[in-house]
């Protein structure tokens, strides 16, 4: 498609601005309306996929693109058009000028963002999630790379609807052993990890992981072994963010820890309530700031397995080898197995980790 430089006689591809597991994003010009746009071209599926699955996936893409195009909120990326050209599915979106949260952390050498910026981002994302969840849409892959801060300060969530498409591809990949897998372990909810049904509260958990990272410089379970990250999400209470950065507001820490509750019912009921709590916290009395040294390097999560073998035992995937020094919410003997698709997972690319040495299959859900 890149060779033709023109899609459907209308969208002229000008510059490649992003590449990921699901495809490429191009800066382009809409020749009909004379405006700059972004065009996301999804990778064609290989011959290993069943033709009937490919047809279903194309239909699902069209349906999800229609849903995404119907979303009208300042905190959600606008979708202008979609279609298929020369066998490649494409999506035409508004062209955003700014940096995503992953890039902002990397620009800042993995140092946490300023507290006022963190609070503002939290409030804006909460309103955007509230709107989309009320439309019946769950993102499923919320992470720093999918949250953009524009040059004027507006915060937008990217890839709504398309993330669900990535979930479908990933699910098939797990069953067949082919194709691409979906998700980044550092931001996955416990119910995603266990393979249970997910709803809007899974997005709230993922948002909690994102907020923890931009506030402290590292995700709540900052471990290099994917299995340890998954077990951390499932079993280990996260360390309070103010233990890493005491000048964070107390109300913000409470919000983050509530978002990171293991059970969905223990999290805030919805993003609208989350936005209300942020607004109330901002309007409240100023928090007492204690003298501290801000963390300037990634932190190991509670119960770090640094130097330990998380796979010790006859069957490392049989349940719950507890994290060293960590507290488990249930007896280890009663822990359910993690799904078989977690075997061989890699940690993928977390925002504070810099550029990954290679692209893992788990980076496939977004760009």
Q: Give, in order, the Cα–Cα distances in Å from 303 to each of 17, 112, 260, 277, 350.
A: 39, 22, 16, 30, 19
Is 182 in contact with 364 (CB distance < 8 Å)?
Answer: yes
Beta bridge partners of 19: 24
Query: Catalytic positions, please?
Result: 141
Q: Give, in order, the Cα–Cα distances in Å from 46 to each of 43, 49, 75, 181.
A: 9, 6, 34, 14
Among 349, 325, 52, 54, CA closest to 179: 54
């Amino acid at each position: 498609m890149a060779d033709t430089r023109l899609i459907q006689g209308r969208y002229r591809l000008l510059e490649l601005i992003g590449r990921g597991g699901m495809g490429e994003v191009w800066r382009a010009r809409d020749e009909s309306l004379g405006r700059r746009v972004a065009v996301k071209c999804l990778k064609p599926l290989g011959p290993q996929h069943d033709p009937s699955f490919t047809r279903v996936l194309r239909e699902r893409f069209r349906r999800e693109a229609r849903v995404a195009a119907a979303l009208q909120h300042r905190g959600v990326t606008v979708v202008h058009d979609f279609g298929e050209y020369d066998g490649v599915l494409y999506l035409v979106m508004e062209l955003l000028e700014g940096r995503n949260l992953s890039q902002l952390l990397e620009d800042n050498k993995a140092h946490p963002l300023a507290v006022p910026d963190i609070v503002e981002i939290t409030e804006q994302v909460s309103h955007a999630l509230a709107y989309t969840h009320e439309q019946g849409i769950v993102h499923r892959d919320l992470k720093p790379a999918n949250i953009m801060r524009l040059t004027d300060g507006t915060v937008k969530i990217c890839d709504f609807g398309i993330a669900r498409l990535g979930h479908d591809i990933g699910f098939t990949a797990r069953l067949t052993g082919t194709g691409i897998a979906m998700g980044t372990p550092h931001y996955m909810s416990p119910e995603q990890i266990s393979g249970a049904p997910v709803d809007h509260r899974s997005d709230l958990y993922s948002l909690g992981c994102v907020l923890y990272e931009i506030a402290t410089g590292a995700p709540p379970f900052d471990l290099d072994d994917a299995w340890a990250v998954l077990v951390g999400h499932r079993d280990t209470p996260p360390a309070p963010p103010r233990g890493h950065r005491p000048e964070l507001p107390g109300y913000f820490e409470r919000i983050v820890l509530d978002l990171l509750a293991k059970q969905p019912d223990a999290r805030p009921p919805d993003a609208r309530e989350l936005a209300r709590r942020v607004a109330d916290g901002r309007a409240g009395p100023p928090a007492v700031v204690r003298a501290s040294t801000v963390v300037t390097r990634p932190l190991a999560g509670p119960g770090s397995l640094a130097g330990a073998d998380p796979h010790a035992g006859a069957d490392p995937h049989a349940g719950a080898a507890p994290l060293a020094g960590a507290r488990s919410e249930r007896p280890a003997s009663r822990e359910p197995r993690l799904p078989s698709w977690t075997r061989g997972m890699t940690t993928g690319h977390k925002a504070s980790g810099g550029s990954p040495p290679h692209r893992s299959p788990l980076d496939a859900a977004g760009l």
